[in-house]
Structure 1
């Protein structure tokens, strides 16, 4: 997992037109979480990403569904591997993912313009997605798990900013 995190071209597709594959992956992810009614809304630039982030709420049904999926994964990973292994692995991947994502974002931001708060939010989301992908591996889940599908969006260079209203914002 660390090799994947370190070699990913984090955020390389932000600001570019949304490819059909990324749209399909986002729709599959939303459907797997139980939110097929949300439409995928491409975010074209940092300004709109900031607006979408400001509107994002952690008390939505979407974030609750993600939390439940993550909690179940963590419990399963702990049952299989034990606290020491899971804690060490998550800590290590968390640090590597955050560093790699921040480095990529700083390069993007220099070209496209973004404030440090937005960079930190995106890097934090990337870190969380990498840790969720690790939990999937540690819990013997498959590639169809909703959080694996979300990580696939990051692998494609996107930032799933989150759900607001009837839209799922994807930068």
Structure 2
């Protein structure tokens, strides 16, 4: 493990494309994951949610903040894998991956992204577990669902950062919603559902 950490540190130092990864990991490690799920949102969070939906290409999708785990679980179960919003995110992810592969080989990218996922997973799972305890959610699926979504958002945000994407890139905005302690579930019809 120590040699692998040394290898990744060396790669971060040698490749300018990866200079954003270490600061991103430090930021992600300090996020208070899921601390505001179920609460009424502040205006900044509402505006951030609108900005994400618009940047993704769904300006008509109004943020809908869900009040409890049952609503969030139902929403998560009903998001379609091949929905237009999901397709838009997949196209963005593929485009960013292609951009990064223009300067990194596939093996290096895989190693870096594995490092990103492992670097954020513990803090995310701890945040999800703490939120479940605080909200008295005894369904183990809560920790799995929220953690999985947050790791995926971290992966996407790291990709965006590696390409030098602006702060108003959809993946950067989605990550900012997680930074606000939320779980952005997805766009269904004209609603952007958030717990």
Matches within 5 A, 1:102-121: 102-114=125-137, 115-121=139-145
- 1:39 aligns to what? 62
- Aligned to 1:9, the other structure's residue is in SS state coil
Partner of 1:55: 78
- Unpaired runs of 5+ residues, structure 1, are none
Which of 159, 164, 167 is matched with 1:140 structurally? 164
Is residue 5–residue 97 contact of structure 1 (8 Å, CA) maintained in 2?
yes
Q: Which residue of 1 aligns with 2:174?
A: 150
Q: How does 1:1-150 map to 2 (within 5 A)?
A: 1-114=24-137, 115-150=139-174
TM-score, normalised to structure 2, is 0.83
TM-score (norm 1): 0.95
SS at match of 2:145: helix
Query: Which whole-Å CA distance do the structure 1 matches of 2:56 and 2:124 have between them?
Result: 25
C-alpha RMSD of matched pairs (Å)? 1.2
Deviation digits for residues 41-78 of structure 1 (CA, Å, limit 9, x no counterpart): 01111121111112111110000001101111111111
Residue 107 of structure 1: how far off its partner (Å): 0.9
CA distance in 2, matches of 1:142, 1:77: 15
Greater shift, 94-103 or 31-40, is seen at: 94-103
Aligned-pair distance for 1:96? Answer: 2.4
Shift of 1:15: 1.7
Q: How many residues align?
A: 171
- Deviation of residue 154 (structure 1)? 0.7
Q: Based on CA coordinates, which of the two structures has the bigger radius of gyration?
A: 2
